[in-house]
Amino acid sequence: MRKFTIVAMLAAALAATPLMAQQPTQSGLQNDAPDRYVVVKGDTLWSIATKFLKDPWRWPEVWKLNQQDMKNPHLIYPGDVIVLDRSGQNPELRIEMGATEKLEPHIRVEDTSREAIPSIPPRVIEPFLSRPLVIEPDGLENAPRIIAAQADRVYLGSGDVAYVSGIKDAKLDSQWQVYRPGKALVDPETKTTLGYEAVFLGDAKLTRTGDPATIKLTAVQQEIGVGDRLVAAEPLVLRSYAPHAPGRQIRGRIIATRGGLRETGPQNVVTLNKGKNDGLEPGHVLALLRLGRTVQTSTRSTKWFRPDPVETTKLPDERYGLVFVFRTFDRVSYALVMSASRPVLLDDVVTTP
Top pLDDT among 64 and 11 is at: 64
What pLDDT does residue 304 have?
Answer: 56
Q: Phi and psi for 53 in degrees, rounded to 5?
A: -120, 145
Strand partners, 312: 296
Better-predicted residue by pLDDT, 8 or 316:
316
Band the pLDDT of 57: cuts 50, 70, 90: confident
pLDDT for the residue 189: 87
DSSP H or E run through 178: strand 175-186
Chain segment 142-189, per-residue pLDDT in tens: 899 999 998 777 889 999 999 999 998 899 999 999 999 888 899 998
Q: What is the pTM of this model?
A: 0.73
Mention every residue, 6+ apart, whose C-beta is less than 8 A from residue 51: 30, 33, 34, 37
Is the confidence at residue 112, as pLDDT, over 90?
A: no
Q: pLDDT of 300-309, one tens digit each?
A: 655 555 566 6
Interval 98-103 mean pLDDT: 56
Helix H or strand E encompassing 124? helix 122-130
Burial tier of 154 (Cβ tally within 10 Å: 0-12, 13-18, 19+): exposed
Q: Which residues pair with 195 in a beta bridge?
A: 185
* 226 vs 11, higher pLDDT: 226
pLDDT for res 137:
74
Confidence bin at 22 (pLDDT 50/70/90): low
Predicted confidence band of residue 107 (pLDDT cuts 50, 70, 90)? very low
Look at 122 and 241; give whichever has higher pLDDT. Answer: 122
pLDDT class for 68, splitting at 50, 70, 90? very low
* C-alpha dihedral, 14 to 20 to 24 to 29, nearest 10°: -40
Mean pLDDT of the chain: 80
Tell me the mean pLDDT in the region 310-334.
90
- What confidence tier does 260 reach under pLDDT thresholds 50, 70, 90? confident
CA distance from start to end of the chain: 41
The size of the chain, in residues, is: 353
Q: Which residue ranges form the domains of the chain, and what is each CATH number?
A: 11-119 (no CATH), 132-232 (2.40.10), 251-351 (2.40.10)
* Residue 314 in this model has a pLDDT that exceeds 50: yes
Rg (the chain; Cα; Å): 25
Whether 5 shows a pLDDT value over 90: the answer reads: no
More confident residue, 325 or 299: 325
